[in-house]
Amino acid sequence: MAQIFDRSSNALARMSLVLTGLIVIALGVTLDSLQRSPWVTRQGQRPDQPVPFSHKHHVQGLGLQCQYCHTSVEKSSYAGIPPTKTCINCHAQIWTNAALLEPVRSSWATNESITWTKVHDLPDYVYFNHSIHVNKGLGCASCHGRVDLMPLMYQQNTLQMEWCLNCHRDPAKNLRPVSQIYNMAWEAPSKEKPVWCAAGGEKAGKPTAQSVDCQTSDPSKGGVQVASLSFAGLMMGGQDPNQPLSVEGVHSNPHAESTVGAGELRLPEQVSYTKFTSQRELGYYLMDHYKIRRANELSSCEVCHR
């Protein structure tokens, strides 16, 4: 059969195939990194706002709590942006003539709310809910960063699917006691700074997360005895904390190692608190007590796409 193409054109064809392949890969890599770039994810951007509201001044400077302004964060899917009334509570007296605050005053006068630009904005096809996260021990700072240090609000994390999944596959690395969710400076427990927790258990009749008590100073060294005693009462099988504990009750606790002398009961909080010196240990303990679902359940598509 006659050769239509000579050998060199064969090589050329192969070469162009390889080239096309390379271009496709390069394009893919570019698109992929573009898709993750801060320009697309809006990470770190500070959008123009009608009023340059500073979280740093109001939270760190004045000591205001997040829930003073974001009132629904524990109860609903939305944290909520405060109405002008919240600002006027103070700014009817403070900085009353500042030009910066003109939009606040005119909003108050005209009864039209301030139009803040959204900083965080998930696509509509994603379901997100604040209350479930904060009631299971995820602090604001775990997702929003050190808001108390932000003169202007920005988005700390990508909010992309990968970011959500990274935590859903292993929540233990981020969990903290529910009592600490607003604490911007919370640090994971360490050998130098342990955390002690005790669980009230089902009999407490409260939501699970609320019946776990955690302390950052050693509860056996006093200071929290009254609160701990009632917890310990629950630990001992729901006995009335005002009644003396039966000796059997104390002995049946696997952590009890001390002797109980006649007429002298050891303080039960010494047997019921567990000490944690690492995030992993605390994380697994809280996963158990807050009844957090397993990684595979939390990563299934229907959790976030309903």
Residues 77-106 that bind ligand HEC (CB under 6 A): 78-82, 86-87, 89-91, 94-95, 100-101, 104
Point out which span in 113-121, 203-211, 219-227, 248-256 binds ligand HEC (CB under 6 A).
Answer: 113-121
Point out which span in 4-12, 121-129, 192-200, 209-217 binds ligand HEC (CB under 6 A).
Answer: 121-129
Binding flags for ligand HEC, 243-272, as an x/- string (CB under 6 A): ------------------------------
Minimum CB distance to ligand HEC smaller for 184 or for 214: 184
Task: Supply the minimum distance, in Å, between the C-beta of residue 117 and ligand HEC.
Answer: 7
* Binding flag, residue 304, ligand HEC (CB under 6 A): yes
Minimum CB distance to ligand HEC smaller for 147 or for 227: 147
For tokens 């598509």, the residue is 301
Spell 14-45 as b/e; 16+ CB within 10 A means b. Answer: eeeeeeeeeeeeeeeeeeeeeeeeeeebbbee
Q: How far is CA 63 from CA 67, 216, 241, in A?
A: 12, 21, 36
Cα–Cα distance measured from residue 163 to residue 158, given in angstroms and rounded to the nearest whole number: 7
Binding flags for ligand HEC, 272-301, as an x/- string (CB under 6 A): --------------------xx----xx-x
Contact criterion met (CB below 8 Å) for 67 and 73: yes
Binding residue for ligand HEC, selected from 107, 108, 171, 234, defined by CB under 6 A: 171
Task: Supply the minimum distance, in Å, between the C-beta of residue 97 and ligand HEC.
Answer: 12
Residue among 69, 61, 65, 45 at smallest CA distance from 149: 61
Query: Please, which of residues 41-60 interact with ligand HEC by CB under 6 A?
Result: 49, 51-55, 57-59
* Binding flag, residue 63, ligand HEC (CB under 6 A): no
Contact criterion met (CB below 8 Å) for 239 and 203: no
Point out which span in 5-13, 73-81, 206-214, 238-246 binds ligand HEC (CB under 6 A).
Answer: 73-81
For tokens 């605390």, the residue is 282
Cα–Cα distance measured from residue 238 to residue 203, given in angstroms and rounded to the nearest whole number: 6
Neighbours of 247 (CB within 10 A): 11
